Amino acid sequence: MKYGAFISLAAAALMGGCASTTTVDDFRPTLELIDIEAGEKLAVLGRRDAGHYETDRSFIDCLGKRLARSNLQVISEQEFVDALYPWFEPRTAPKALKRLKRIMQDPAVREKVQLEKIRYLIWLEGEVETQGMSGAMSCGVVPGGAGCFGYNSWEKSAVFEAIVWDLVDLTEEARIRVDSEGTSYLIGIVAPIPLLTPVESQACEGMGEQLRSYFFQEEG
């Protein structure tokens, strides 16, 4: 790439930033708000597959914090797993509503859920992927010291799905999918300048806002 063209690309990237696009799709059996009484809690849990697959933990934490900002009471993933041990360990956690109903038939599980006042379980599944690396950058000694010249760009995408289960009525209340994608850059103009697209945080924001809009909090 010629120097003039590279400067134009760098300027465009620096001025335009790293915009990303986010789409949220949801399915609900009814448009009625989901009732949650004062003191009742939500649990946000990432799907695990006995160590072979793990939902992005930073996204789980992000979504829990975002929901808590609207005064919803959220129990953390670790607290929930510890409280319901061993029923929600990777090897035993229910992957479908039918399996959840069988687990909830156990008096010990029902008692623990009631004691902790956990009304809804939000199952999360998904990850952030990086692909499509392009460009070239070289670093070395230049007049006046060391430096880098060139650029790299790559595509990032975040795809997550959330399923809301009612632990009292044992029903699925909602299902949400969020997709966020964008291009990140690393521009070398003496010092490398990273311009990273915030796909994960935008996916978290989109899903969090959608989930918060579903719940109606009853006064105690």
Compute the distance between CA of residue 54 and CA of residue 39 in angstroms, rounded to an integer: 30
Contact (CB, 8 A) for 14 and 187: yes
Which of left, alpha, beta for 144 (phi over 0: left; psi -120 to 50: alpha)? left
Compute the distance between CA of residue 114 and CA of residue 168 in angstroms, rounded to an integer: 9
- pLDDT score, position 98: 94
- Token representation of residue 159: 């795809």
- Token representation of residue 184: 């990140």
Compute the distance between CA of residue 94 and CA of residue 171 in angstroms, rounded to an integer: 14
Compute the distance between CA of residue 197 and CA of residue 167 in angstroms, rounded to an integer: 37
Q: Is the pLDDT of residue 99 over 80?
A: yes
If you search the block for the tokens 């949220």, which residue do you land on? 24
- Token representation of residue 203: 């996916």
pTM above 0.75, yes or no: yes
- pLDDT score, position 196: 74
Type of residue found at 111: E
Type of residue found at 88: F
Contact (CB, 8 A) for 55 and 126: yes
Count other Cβ atoms within 10 Å, centred on residue 46: 20
- Token representation of residue 125: 């599944």
Which residue has better confidence, 177 or 89? 177
pLDDT tens digits, 25-75: 988 877 788 989 989 999 999 987 655 567 888 999 999 999 998 889 999
Q: Is the pLDDT of residue 103 over 90?
A: yes
Compute the distance between CA of residue 182 and CA of residue 196 in angstroms, rounded to an integer: 9
pLDDT tens digits, 149-171: 777 777 889 999 999 999 999 99
Type of residue found at 130: T
pLDDT tens digits, 104-155: 999 999 999 999 999 999 999 998 888 877 777 677 665 666 677 777 777 8
Query: Strand, coil or helix: what is 205?
Result: helix
Which of left, alpha, beta for 50 (phi over 0: left; psi -120 to 50: alpha)? left
- What are the structural domains, with CATH classification, of the chain? 3-213 (3.30.160)
- pLDDT score, position 15: 45
pLDDT tens digits, 197-219: 789 999 999 999 999 999 877 65
- pLDDT score, position 105: 94
